[in-house]
Amino acid sequence: MAEHYCLLETELGVCGIAWTGQGLSRLQLPEADRAATERRLQKRAPATRCDALPAKIAAVVAQVRRYAAGEKLEFTDVDLDLAETSAFHCRIYEALRRVGWGHTSTYGALAREVGAPDAARAVGQAMGRNPIPLIIPCHRVLASGDKVGGFSAFGGAITKQRLLALEGVHLGSGTPLLPGLLPAGR
């Protein structure tokens, strides 16, 4: 199925989304700059750039922009195209989509929820391969003991903490990171 993409300006930086006729297939969080975001989005699979967005995709773009500006919203109504995703990862992503704004889960809790209590590492691998962050909110998954854990997006754990802070979740006793701020060199 043909895949298209667009870039969008948000309060977090330039994001990218890709879609097929089935639904959203990828979301790229901001990289160092616009060109890097586009390159990363294109790296996973070829897609055609499209500036005339279908209505459903334009609605997703608007939602992502509102989310990045701090509006409390969920993406549970967004249609996804996970055709290239394993059945196990799809089960994990489905469970994760039920973790709401301002809430977190752990790798172990998600593993138990999908009936694989010894698969916390596999859940971590699914988070690292998540093609649609924010919509499938992998930033809401913490390591045991409410530690931040890893995050595969540009900026790593700091980006994860920024997204959590946007939702009012602050880990540890440090000052919460504000949206739009990345440390130098990241």
Catalytic residue at 138? yes
Alpha-helical runs (H) found in 97-176: 107-113, 120-128, 156-166
Separation of alpha carbons 149 and 19, rounded Å: 29
User: How far apart, in whole angstroms, are the C-alpha atoms of residue 105 and residue 110?
Assistant: 7
C-alpha angle 11/97/87, rounded to 5°? Answer: 125
Where does residue 23 rank: exposed (0-12), middle (13-18), buried (19+ CB within 10 A)?
middle
**Looking at 15, 50, 90, 138, which residue is catalytic?**
138
Contacts for 156 with CB less than 8 Å, ≥ 6 apart? 150, 186
Is the CB of residue 162 less than 8 Å from the CB of residue 179? yes
DSSP 80: B
Contact 104, 141 (CB under 8 A): yes
- Residues marked active site are found at 138
